[in-house]
Amino acid sequence: MLKPKQCIEQVRDYHAPVEGPQPELRLDLNESTTGCSPRVLAKIRSMSAKKLALYPPREPGEKLVADFLGLAPEQLMLSNGADEGIDLLERAYVETGDEVLFSVPGFPMYEIFGRSAGGTVVKVPAGDDYSFPLSRMLESITRKTRVIVICNPNNPTGIAVQKSAILQLLQAAPDAAVLVDEAYFEFYGESMLDQVGKIPNLFLARTFSKAYGLAGVRLGVLCGPGEQIRAIRKIASPFNVNGIALECLEEALADKEFVTSYVSQVKKTRAWLIEQLEALGFKCWPSHANFVLCRIGENKKAVLSGLRARGIGLRDRPDCEGCVRITIGTQAEMERVITEIQQVTGKRPAERVAR
């Protein structure tokens, strides 16, 4: 019988919650519920049949993003979502048996891409309260470590990693590609961008899926030293980024005000949501992203299904005991979430429980 490569047999099935009937309010994938800039939408609508018939060149888009980020075009490549950038990076550096290191709870694709590249996955458990396990990460570096991924801020906890911790890892593993996944950068504001090209093993991944509200067009950026990006380009399709995504780019970058105002709404609403959830007695982790990790406790399954029946999808995080991850939507959407949680649990704000 035909068999896929052995390493693929070890890759677990991953199902994003986009299959099957969808809740009316999807708060389980950290998408923007606001959508993209109207300028981007107008640009897409203006596309001609002729343009859609052409293979899209990536280069002009890469020049735009390079200018926006203050990098040279050869220090980045556009990707089909940040996902593809992570995949390409792991494929470029991991040989069979090499180690891919990251902390857990974390983003599941690091493992899937690492294993499919033939790598061995080393998952380092987070510290108390899901803090970044710097010393355990440092201790886990071996001669075989070829990729280290640091998700900053981390999904699903929203916790940020200090620059000094990232720098220590970069120094401790000079033969490993260290990828800082900054998918949620806009909600946090701190970045390693100013070090790209200066530190020879530093890579950065960014995405247009979150703050730009463009998850559906699939557009990401992988940044790193020019000579390394040149190697990674060799294994990517020349047309990995679709023409609609490339068409959007200029307007998406130009409409700074749209992103700024969306990000500030999310931050405000995030603080409000955390306060409300805590008033109901649920522990929340301080988040630097567009989602919040919340410990519902034993009642979690009932809360998830109760909200689902009321048209709201939250993300179960079985890797964080008793927790769900809630995407921050508009203020009105979050008010609805709080009302429905109160309905399902019977809790009222006055009922503070000991933590």
Are 257 and 291 spatial neighbours (Cβ–Cβ below 8 Å)?
A: no
* Rounded Cα gap, residues 165 and 176, in angstroms: 16
300-309 and 331-345 are packed helices; what angle lies between their axes, rounded to 10 degrees? 120
- Torsions phi, psi of 134, nearest 5? -55, -50
Which ranges of the chain would DSSP assign to H, the alpha helix? 6-9, 38-45, 49-52, 59-69, 81-93, 109-116, 134-140, 163-172, 226-233, 243-254, 256-279, 300-309, 331-345
Residue 44, CA atoms < 13 Å, CB-side half-sphere: 17
Minimum CB distance to ligand PMP smaller for 105 or for 133? 105
| Nearer residue to ligand PMP within complex by CB, 180 or 341 | 180
The SS3 call for residue 34 is coil
Nearer to ligand PMP, 209 or 269 (CB): 209
Q: Which is nearer to ligand PMP, 293 or 344 (CB)?
A: 293
Structure tokens at 6: 């052995």
Q: Closest separation between CB of residue 136 and ligand PMP, Å?
A: 20
Q: CB atoms < 10 A from the CB of 106, how many? A: 21
What is the nearest approach in angstroms of ligand PMP to the Cβ of residue 102?
Answer: 11
Q: Which of 220, 182, 224 is nearest to 199 (CA)?
A: 224
Tell me whether residue 151 or residue 211 sits nearer to ligand PMP (CB atom). 151
CB nearer to ligand PMP: pick between 56 and 220: 220
Q: Residue 206 pairs with which residues in a beta bridge?
A: 221
d(CA 326, CA 196): 32
Residues that bind ligand PMP (CB under 6 A): 30, 81-83, 107, 151, 155, 181, 183, 207, 209, 215, 220
214 alpha-carbon distance from chain centroid = 13
Nearest distance from C-beta of residue 254 to ligand PMP, angstroms: 20
- Only one residue has tokens 């009302």, namely 339
Tell me how far apart the terminal alpha carbons of the chain are, to the nearest angstrom: 55
Residue whose C-alpha is closest to residue 284's, from 275, 126, 57, 125: 275
DSSP for 95-122 reads PTT-EEEEEES--THHHHHHHHTTPEEE
Comparing CB distances to ligand PMP, the nearer of 149 and 337 is: 149
Give phi and psi for 302, each to the nearest 5.
Answer: -65, -40
Q: Which is closer to ligand PMP, CB of 206 or CB of 300?
A: 206
- What's the min distance (Å) between Cβ of 209 and ligand PMP? 3
Tell me which residue has its CB nearest to ligand PMP: 81
CB of 213 to ligand PMP, least distance (A): 11
137 or 280, CB closer to ligand PMP? Answer: 137
Closest approach, Cβ 275 to ligand PMP, in A, equals 24
